[in-house]
Amino acid sequence: MTLDIFHIDSFTETLFQGNPACVIPLEKWLPDDLMLNIAKENGVAETAFIVRHKDSFDLRWFTPDLEMDLCGHATLAAAHAIKTILGFDAGKIRFNTESGILNVDISGERYILDFPSRPSEGISFLPDELTFSLSIQPQYIFKAERDYILVYESESLIRDIVIDRDEFDKINLGQGGVAVTAPGENCDFVSRFFTPQATILEDFVTGSSHCSLVPYWSKRLSKKELVARQISARPGTLYCTDSGNRILIGGYAVTYSTGKIYMNN
């Protein structure tokens, strides 16, 4: 069996920045354990598998560790591959996913993801393991459906945060993670994102976490349109809109490579 594979850098206009994802088109789903093994072999944060129908695509996301219910950067990568490599000539791409129908509008070279809003609520304290794992404690603490949102006073504090992985990996968040965030110096807000027990501790650019970050910053800053930067080692830019129960997340992508997977053994 031979499969096509596309390596895409998402939420960036520059190679070697943003978040890399692999995209693999299929005629039908492979066994789950095989797709997980392929994701492990790829070694990037997410691998997107797509199955085309006449006017839509089924989409699933796998990290090297598990299948996810939602992923922003791999959705953007899939849309970029469908448009620029597979030649799907349409202004909108519809994905059928575990999180419902996700539409991606194409505006020039920018892809705009239409994702569910996942607002957070303020809480009083963190689990001890999370508190002990943070080199700098947050100013405010919030919990969303999937992720913790930890708010800090400045962008410099976000850059300086160090995670004690031995403590951090004691936390069980399922598919969730921890977003640390603050007002941006040259944008509306910045963030970083960490996932306990994951092969890749820090995700470079995390579209799905903005389903919770955008409602918080939209309310705090009293604005619906926001520009966000994820300031990891491979930074990326997200152009966000709070549309009530939906969050629009815009970004760019570039193709790094196309190739083949050979599974003849």
Q: Which residues are catalytic?
A: 46
DSSP character string of 173-239: -TT--EEEEEE-SSSSEEEEEE-TT-SSSEES--TTTHHHHHHHHHHHHT-SEEEEEE-SSS-EEEE
64 in Cβ contact with 40 (< 8 Å)? yes
Distance between CA atoms of residues 97 and 65, nearest Å: 19
Distance between CA atoms of residues 94 and 82, nearest Å: 11
The single residue listed with the structure tokens 């031979």 is 2
Nearest C-alpha neighbor of 50 from the set 8, 91, 17: 8
Nearest C-alpha neighbor of 239 from the set 148, 53, 90, 109: 109
Distance between CA atoms of residues 204 and 233, nearest Å: 7
24 in Cβ contact with 34 (< 8 Å)? no
The single residue listed with the structure tokens 């539409």 is 103
Segments of the chain assigned E as strands: 2-10, 19-26, 46-52, 57-62, 67-68, 92-97, 100-107, 110-116, 121-122, 140-143, 148-151, 178-183, 189-194, 202-203, 225-230, 236-242, 246-251, 253-262
Q: What's the N-to-C CA distance of the chain in angstroms?
A: 9
